[in-house]
Structures are given as structure tokens and as C-alpha cells.
Amino acid sequence: MRENLEIVFNKNGVLAGFTNRFGGVSEGTFESLNLADHVGDDPLKVAQNREILATALGIMPVNLKFMSQIHSNRVEILQDFNDDLPPCDGVITSLKGVALCVLVADCAPVLIIDEHLGVVAAVHAGRAGVTSKICTNAVGLMTSEFGCRASNLRVFIGANIKVQNYEVGKLDLGEFNRYKKDGKFDINAALLDEFAKLGVGQISIDPRCTFERDELFSYRKQSRTGRFCGFVMNRATSVNSKK
């Protein structure tokens, strides 16, 4: 495991994990492994950083699939390697050798895996996505389009901003107001309940808070900053078709 990668799953041909700030070439406020090309960093350095990630995963940079994230509950299916994804905040695929990537700097990067069917998903779960149930949409598509069962899914929720640092004040979150306390929103509690209702039992949460940890980018701490990512890739040469 490289110092800039934190592998959380590597089994049955599926590889998943999260990057951090280490091991890249970006400078200043973007130091050093910034993977976002929309935050004002030098595009050439971002391209180099993505090459570093691709090399670590054993694939070509073109095999990294990043979304144009829009803080929505829209989930797309990558059916062909050459597909251009429309703006979205979740992507699912059964393709092999393609790493789905979700960029974050306080929002929750969520990776969903069906290791038996070789189906994987990457989801950007910020406040807007969580309160519009983007993870429910992702699991629903994995079920309807790929035959996945919620009980077979593994979920990894990466480091995000924890409730003690996520001030939303008097913002009305509708049914999600129950996850507010003293004007602060608990993303992880909302996600845990959502996945529990869906019947997903295998859930892991990174306990770190992006706002408090220097090895992670945080927009709330430093608005001009980079993005780390969650990545998930189906590397299997064959998959079990039994459900």
C-alpha cells in the first residue's frame, strides 16, 4: 500500500480505497495530491496527480472515471468504456479495469461493492445528496439493473466532515432535521440509517473528520483547496453470476 492510498477492500477482484493529500506534485494550498481539475490548480499538475493515482492502481490514466459532480441525487450507469457521463453524483459499473472516482473535501465519499456480481459504485454524498437520498437511488439501480441484493452489498463511507464541525444553522432539512443538533448536521448518522433501511448490513465508516485532519483536504477549513478521492474498481477476470 502506497502512502498516498488507503486501501479498504481488496478481494475477489475488487479494489477500493481512498487517497489523501500525500504523494502528489501540486503546490501551495493544493499540496500535494489534488485530483480535482475545477478548483484552480495547475491543470498539468492535476494531470500528473491523476497519473500517479492510475499508476498506483495499475491502470492507464484514461481508465480513471471522474464525475462532473453537481450536488444532486443523480446516479448514472457506465455501460461502455467510452461513454461520456452527464453531470451526476453517482456512477455504477460492471466494467473491468475501470476505476470509478468520487472527489471530496468534506462531503462523504461512498463506495458500494457487490463483490459476487462484480458491480461497483462511487457516490458523492454531501448534504444535498444525502437529503435527496442519492444512496437509495444508487442501491436501487444496482438492484434493478444488475440484479444485486442489498444484503450482499458492502459499503465504505470515507472521511468527511463530522457533526461537531458541520454548521448548517437554521437551514430546514425537512425529514432530515432529525439529524441536526444545535444547528449541526450529522451526515454519517443519516447515511447509516438510510443503508439500514435498505437492508445493507456491511457498512464501514472512516472515523476521521476532514476539518480536523491535515492529511485530508477540507473546503470548510480552507475554501481554496484540493480534493481527495474515493476509488473503486472491478479487476475480476470473471464474476459469480449466482444471486
Residue-level pLDDT, tens digit, the chain, 243 residues: 347 899 999 999 999 999 999 999 999 999 999 999 999 999 999 999 999 999 999 999 999 999 999 999 999 999 999 899 999 999 999 999 999 999 999 999 999 999 999 999 999 999 999 999 999 999 999 999 999 999 999 999 999 999 999 999 999 999 999 999 999 999 999 999 999 999 998 999 999 999 999 999 999 999 999 999 999 999 855 433 333
Is residue 84 classed exposed, middle or buried when 0-12, 13-18 and 19+ CB atoms within 10 A define those classes?
A: exposed
pLDDT of amino acid 58: 94
Grouping H, G, I as helix, E, B as strand and the rest as coil, residue 118 is coil
32: phi then psi, degrees, rounded to nearest 5: -125, -30
pLDDT of amino acid 241: 36
- Count of Cβ atoms closer than 10 Å to residue 86 Cβ: 10
**Any domain includes 242:** no
pLDDT of amino acid 42: 98
pLDDT of amino acid 177: 97
**Any domain includes 243:** no
Q: Specify whether the backbone of 37 is left (phi greater than 0), alpha (psi in -120 to 50) or beta.
A: alpha
**Any domain includes 225:** yes
Instruction: Give the Cα-Cα-Cα angle 133, 14, 50 (nearest 5 degrees).
Output: 80
Q: What is the pTM of this model?
A: 0.95
Spatial separation of the C-alpha atoms in residues 129 and 126, rounded to whole Å: 5
**Any domain includes 176:** yes
**Any domain includes 95:** yes
- Count of Cβ atoms closer than 10 Å to residue 225 Cβ: 23
Domain of 21, in residue numbers = 5-234
Q: Please, which residues have CB within 8 angstroms of residue 133's CB and are 6 or more apart in sequence? A: 73, 194
**Any domain includes 239:** no
Across 21-98, the runs of DSSP E, i.e. the strands, are: 64-66, 75-78, 90-93
**Any domain includes 135:** yes
For the chain, the C-alpha Rg in angstroms (whole number) is 17
Total number of domains in the chain? 1
Q: What is the CATH number of the domain that holds 197?
A: 3.60.140.10
Q: Are 168 and 180 in contact (CB under 8 A)?
A: yes
**Burial letters for 50-69: b for 16+ Cβ neighbours within 10 Å, e otherwise?**
bebbbebbebebeebbbbeb
Spatial separation of the C-alpha atoms in residues 23 and 38, rounded to whole Å: 20
Q: Are 63 and 97 in contact (CB under 8 A)?
A: yes
**Any domain includes 73:** yes
pLDDT of amino acid 235: 81
